[in-house]
Amino acid sequence: MLEWFVDRYNIYISRSLRIFRTYIKDSSQIKIDNAIINLARMLYDIHKKPVLVLVDEYDRPINDFINKNGERDIAANFGWFLNLLCKDLPKFIDKSIFTGTLKIAHNKLSSSMRNLKAYTIQNDFLYADCFGFTEAEVTELLRKNLYYESEGDFKEQINIIKTWYNGYNVGKIRIYNPWSITNCLQAVSEKSDFPLRPYWINTGIYDILMSAFSNLENFNELYNIMKTGYLTLNPKLPDEIHFGDMKEIKNNFFGCLLHCGYITPNIDDKKRQTYVIPNKETKRDFYEYLLQKWINEKTGENRINVDGTAKEFIENLGNCEKLQNLIQDELLDNFKESDYRTEADFQTLVGGIAMLASIKIDNSAWTVYSERPNDSRNKADAIFLPVANLSSTIIIHEYKKFDRLSIENAQVHATNALWQIFVKKYMDIAISLYKNSRDHQYFKSIIVRGIVFYRVDLQKKWSILIQEIGPFSMEQAININTWFTQGCRVINKLRLCGGDGSKDMIIKERQKLGDENLEILIEKLITDYPTLDYLKRKEQKRASNPAEDNYKSKRLSGT
């Protein structure tokens, strides 16, 4: 209509209207920098006052493609935007105000960021009450919108809402999530049957968190905070995240969680090194969603029923055959096709299912710990500790991953994984808890498993093989640990002296245990694993290459 009017009457049009006409004819010519400047100029012309430019979620474009294009593209496509609104402002723009998730480092995207004053939830408390609704504001809103029969009834409803949406600590002020409160009250006004539910989820940051979540240390810490509600970090989390640097983001995973609102400083901790999950909404919506989304990322979106698989996993964890079939049928057969997989991919996939089960299932019989170190700083891939009154058996997993592997060789590597559990004394963690803590006297037995993920000739389908030894009692576990402590010392000495007569010496050490069943177990390990041949070959290689002498103390076996 506007085009017809202009063309028909040949009206003189101002510069602003000419620009508008160009945009109508071809929207592809629209540039956001021109649009903002032109809009600000129009407002200035009308109101005769400099304009305030407010940009909400200014970091959303970065969130959307940070994993796809990297830091250079972010700087190229976003730096100009910051320059435009932060440096050498025209007279018709008074100032620019940005709100977003993460504070961008000055040297990453734009030099103009030096002109910006940042106020964050971490250490700037001048605007602490502006990050959300305060207690007084929420109380006023609820009095106007909730139906209550008495003051006691009103306080009870406030406490319920506080459990769901309160808990963000900025300075000494507790802040409610304004988006969630608004939506909750809207649901109440519409007489919804379920007004208390998650409303806020920062999906824009998930790509970043997904990448960082695959780090096993982050995996463990995330599990601990979900189980206990607390996270202790020393030193405290950084005030600034270098946006666009994925390596740094992965190393500052919990800094991202803090700035995104998924953890908050413990208001009672003056050193500000303890962090808590803010509320029920955050825990239920984000942490469960994160696990489910991460599992779907690995298996392919909606290929598996994550909740159902988690329930079956924890129910079948004690049964080796059923567990192997479940992992094969529900996880590996649905595994997203990829040319390359790391051992950590499989470890965190299985651990993620186990973690989700322990969170969502009230009567989960085990809790999972990944990469938990023993006194020797050796880390077991996964230790499942039993929950009192639900189970008494500890289960230890050691994972291996191989391409181009036959089923026969998979069996060999599964045995090697079992040997590694004993040689590196992964049972130390459970034994230490059993011997030193009254709270863990219900531990009765241990099962160890060597688990191999493999595929034949680079076929796309992955398979799993599990070898299991046990259960054996805690007393037997202590004896096994003792033998391997002594046996490894003997093997180390034999390696240095050449290895002659070594098997007889190991058998002699084994006979000290005096337990016939345990002797059979240890003999099976020695027979199936070519440790002594391996050591002999190493000695021969070392004799021909003296430069390898510094390697002698690093490996006791071929694990």
Give the DSSP per-residue string, 160-188. Answer: HHHHHH--EEETTEEEB-HHHHHHHHHHH
Which pLDDT tens digit goes with each residue over 102-153? 665 554 555 555 667 778 777 657 788 888 899 889 999 988 888 888 888 8
Q: Give the Cα separation of 72 and 396 in Å (integer).
A: 44
Task: Give the residues of the chain that fall short of pLDDT 70.
Answer: 1-34, 61-82, 87-88, 102-115, 123-124, 201-220, 223-224, 226-229, 234-236, 238-251, 270-272, 285-289, 294, 297-298, 300-303, 336-339, 459, 486-559
DSSP class of 284: I
- Residue-wise burial string across 24-58, b where 16 or more C-beta atoms lie within 10 A, e elsewhere: eeeeeeeeeeeebbbebbbbbeeeeeebebebeeb
pLDDT of residue 109: 53
pLDDT of residue 335: 75
pLDDT of residue 63: 62
Angle at 286 between CA 285 and CA 287, to 5 degrees: 105
- Cis peptide upstream of residue 471 (ω within 30 degrees of 0): yes
pTM exceeding the 0.75 threshold for the entire prediction: no
pLDDT of residue 327: 92
pLDDT of residue 507: 53
Which pLDDT tens digit goes with each residue over 506-553? 455 445 544 445 456 555 554 544 444 444 454 456 556 654 444 333
DSSP class of 329: I
DSSP E strands, 403-462: 445-454
Q: Give the Cα separation of 195 and 182 in Å (integer).
A: 11
pLDDT of residue 202: 56
The torsion of the CA quartet 247, 250, 252, 255, rounded to 10 degrees, works out to 130
Which pLDDT tens digit goes with each residue over 337-352? 666 778 877 887 888 8
pLDDT of residue 357: 81
Residue 528 burial by CB count (10 A; 0-12/13-18/19+): exposed, middle or buried?
middle
pLDDT of residue 559: 36
